[in-house]
């Protein structure tokens, strides 16, 4: 018996079969592309939307940075003899003990009796790490932020930050991004009043711009209060605080 193999063909792959079905069911339609547009997968897109932007000359970049720096301004210099707190910071810098001014410094546990005996010294000291020294008592109440979480203000303005803790308790406020509290620094501890309300003014000094994160904590309350102060530049048509 003689077999004629000229009529035997290899089976088609799944991909070939899928291509044939697609070709039969979806005829190619030519689409006119208007000037200034490109066809991407059958969708018309403006050429300007997908074309790379022209590089900005380095001279123009430097000019824009210099202009912005002039608008933002420079952080004001502080006389180290301004108050007891600035003297503490100056002494730490002179002695090379800057680690104590870090929010990650290791500090002693809060002692209520020692605080009452040396209240003024405790409030004058600059210890940013106190923002992590909240109460570890699970039965203690949480610190309460009395402002909005997000606050808009202009550079040069002052906003009062408020929290509620136990009456006559220390509260430490710390700004991570410049600005000043009344002691001319970015960290300050104040004492709450008889109602447990602690209030501190925050000044957006020159050089302070953008979103400023501020934390507050008290050893009398659990957790921390978080504020974001969005400092904008005056004269640029930006919203002001009411």
Q: Cβ(129)–Cβ(170) under 8 Å?
A: no
The torsion region of residue 208 among left (phi > 0), alpha (psi -120 to 50) and beta comes to beta
CATH number of this structure's domain 84-232:
2.60.40.10
pLDDT at 43: 79
From 151, 118, 120, select the one nearest 226 (Cα to Cα): 151
CA atoms within 13 A on the CB side of 94: 7
Q: What pLDDT was estimated at residue 59?
A: 82
pTM score:
0.72
53-to-40, 48, 56, 166, 193 alpha-carbon distances in Å:
19, 8, 9, 57, 57
Question: Residue 11's pLDDT is what?
Answer: 63
Q: Is residue 197 packed enough to be buried (19+ CB in 10 Å), middle (13-18) or exposed (0-12)?
A: middle
- The whole-angstrom separation of Cα 127 and Cα 196 is 21
Q: Around Cβ 92, how many Cβ atoms within 10 Å?
A: 15
* pLDDT at 34 (0 to 100): 83
Look at residue 239 in the predicted model and tell me its pLDDT: 45
In which residue ranges of the chain is pLDDT below 50?
3, 5, 7, 237-242
**Mapping DSSP to helix (H, G, I), strand (E, B) and coil, where does residue 129 land?**
helix
Residues 202-219: tens digit of each pLDDT: 999 999 999 999 999 999
């Amino acid at each position: 018996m003689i077999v004629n193999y000229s009529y035997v063909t290899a089976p088609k792959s799944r991909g070939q079969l899928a291509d044939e079905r697609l070709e039969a069911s979806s005829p190619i339609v030519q689409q006119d592309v208007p000037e200034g547009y490109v066809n991407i997968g059958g969708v018309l897109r403006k050429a300007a939307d997908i074309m790379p932007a022209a590089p900005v000359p380095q001279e123009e970049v430097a000019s824009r940075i210099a202009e912005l720096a002039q608008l933002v301004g420079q952080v004001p210099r502080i006389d180290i003899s301004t108050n007891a707190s600035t003297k503490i910071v100056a002494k730490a810098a002179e002695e090379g003990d800057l680690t104590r001014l870090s929010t990650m410094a290791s500090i002693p546990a809060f002692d209520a009796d020692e605080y009452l005996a040396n209240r003024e010294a405790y409030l004058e000291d600059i210890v940013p790490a106190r923002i992590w020294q909240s109460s570890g008592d699970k039965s203690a109440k949480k610190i309460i932020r009395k402002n909005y979480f997000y606050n808009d203000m202009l550079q040069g303005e002052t906003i009062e930050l408020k929290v509620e803790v136990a009456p006559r308790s220390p509260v430490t406020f710390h700004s991570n991004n410049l600005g000043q509290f009344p002691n001319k620094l970015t960290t300050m501890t104040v004492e709450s009043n008889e109602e447990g309300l602690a209030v501190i003014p925050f000044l957006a000094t020159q050089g302070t711009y953008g979103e400023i994160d501020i934390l507050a904590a008290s050893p009398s309350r659990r957790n921390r209060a978080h504020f974001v102060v969005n400092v904008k530049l005056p004269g640029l048509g930006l919203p002001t605080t009411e």
